[in-house]
Amino acid sequence: MNNDFKDKLFGVISLGCDKNRVDAEKLLSMIKGHGCAVTDDISSANVIIVNTCAFLNEARKEAVETVLECSGYRQGNLEKLVVTGCLPQKYSKEIFPELVEADVFLGVADYDRFFEALEKSYEGDRVDYVGRGCGAYRAERVLSTPQHYAYLKIADGCNNRCTYCLIPKIRGGYRSYPEEDLLKEAESLGDISELILVAQDVTRYGTDLYGEKKLKDFLQKLTALDNIKSVRLLYCYPDMIDGELIAEIRDDPKIVKYLDIPLQHSEDRILKLMNRRGSRKEYTDLIARLREEIPGVALRSTFITGFPTETEEEVSRMCDFLREVRLDNCGFFAYSREPDTPAYALKGQIGYREKNARVKRLYAVQKEISYGRAQALVGKKIRVLCDGIDYDKNCFCGRAYFQAPDIDGKVFFNAASAVQGEYYDVVVCGTDGYDLFGKTEDYENE
């Protein structure tokens, strides 16, 4: 390689999910390991990398708009614009000829060819390197989260083949990362107050690599690390949650008593059309079992409404399901008709306005549930991990065990002093139904 790029300043924008974030952090580490400088000020960068999501049409639109916006920096310091991740992985043949603002395309497994592709572009050509990489596992990262918490991606791809989902077409089949590599990665992160495990399906960990479910065993090894103070689980598929995993979550004090379980719907007919394993009864039984066996467990889920042929009655029954199981938090999404998925060809597609009206209806039901749960905490003392200072509200902010970053609200609190990454007992004084507001006892006594 003739150009080592050490005179260039690099900037990275990562779009989409926390799994994408981990990919971007590993790319940042590779850039820094090459001796190159990285900046948070995108306008000053000579090379901008946009790490994209392509899961839904809205995500693809955001990705293209971000690339177009970044191309405006060519009037300043920008020399090269690199597009990586899911969008080029799935759509490079269609988009590369059209998105001429981008100089380099790299897919989800091509980061090892980053500098080679970049050098080619500096030689004068736009380059599409999608599919040329080896996809080798890389442990080194530069954290983009606050230093006291981090995500650990334990697998990539998916085998579930939900009829609405593009992930298998983008990321391929489910691939667990070797546990010895993951443990080294976790150790390399330094002191972490909360390590958040992510994958398309964390509960399926090990089934491909070891021929059996290994999440419980991996959790035992992970929580034995001195630098990891707690572990949170996201994206736990309901059909893979068994008695052994429940007992491990219950009995290990380092595992946060919190589960994110993407149910996606409550009605059997729609679940079958979605190719989801499970039924309404199985879901209600699982939720009851989790609450019985893990006292105080916080449960979060996501749901899709407006799936083809979904009836008004089925939406009403999903509202009833929410009132029955009373989950701590939920996200609701309008079905997105994605080409190259089985559901795309289904008859009975539902209009945009109706889908969004159903989303609002479901959110209204959950808002009432979440408000009731939050209101019940007023006057009580809860343990809060301090995430830092909120300068707009002029107070500290953090999260209780039932709040994952970015998706479950926050606790805003006053205290005589607080340190990022440390835990504090906060007396809840009020709520807006989503966030909580409170103060520590030492502040109360001033």
Q: How many angstroms separate the CA atoms of 13 and 6, rounded?
A: 20
CATH label of the domain that carries residue 156: 3.80.30.20
pLDDT per residue as tens, the chain (446 positions): 567 899 999 999 999 889 999 999 999 999 999 999 999 999 999 999 999 999 888 999 999 999 999 999 999 999 999 999 999 999 999 999 999 999 999 999 999 999 999 999 999 889 999 999 888 878 889 999 998 999 999 999 999 899 999 999 999 999 999 999 999 999 999 999 999 999 999 999 999 999 999 999 999 999 999 999 999 999 999 999 999 999 999 999 999 999 999 999 999 999 999 999 999 999 999 999 999 999 999 999 999 999 999 999 999 999 999 999 999 999 999 999 999 999 999 999 999 999 999 999 999 999 999 999 999 999 999 999 999 999 999 999 999 999 999 899 999 999 999 999 999 999 999 999 899 999 998 886 54
Residue range of the domain that includes 102: 9-128
pLDDT of residue 388: 94
pLDDT recorded at residue 262 = 96
Residue 48 lies in a domain: yes
Q: Does residue 348 lie in a domain region? A: yes
Q: Is the domain of 196 the same as that of 312?
A: yes
**Do 197 and 176 have their domain in common?**
yes
One domain, residues 427 and 396: yes
Asked if residues 398 and 413 have their Cβ atoms less than 8 Å apart, the reply is: yes
Helix (H, G, I), strand (E, B) or coil at 262: coil
Same domain as 228, residue 284? yes
357 and 391 together in one domain: no
E-assigned strands of 262-410? 298-305, 329-334, 381-390, 395-399
Is residue 141 a part of any domain in this protein? no
Nearest CA-CA partner of 114 in 148, 150, 149, 138? 138
CA distance 62 to 83: 13
CATH code of the domain in which 415 resides? 2.40.50.140
Is the domain of 215 the same as that of 335? Answer: yes
119 and 190 share one domain = no
CATH of residue 113: 3.40.50.12160
* Co-location of 288 and 417 in the same domain: no
Q: Which of 323, 340, 375 is at the close of a domain? A: 375
Q: Could you tell me if 239 and 297 lie in one domain?
A: yes
Among the candidates 375, 393, 412, a domain finishes at 375
Q: Which of 128, 159, 188 is the last residue of a domain?
A: 128
For residues 22 and 112, state if they share a domain: yes
Whether 4 is covered by a domain: the verdict is: no
Say yes or no: 161 and 306 in one domain. Answer: yes
Is 116 within the bounds of a domain? yes
Q: Is residue 158 part of a domain?
A: yes
Spatial CB neighbours of 445, under 8 Å, sequence gap ≥ 6: none
302 plus 428 within the same structural domain? no
Structural domain total, the chain: 3
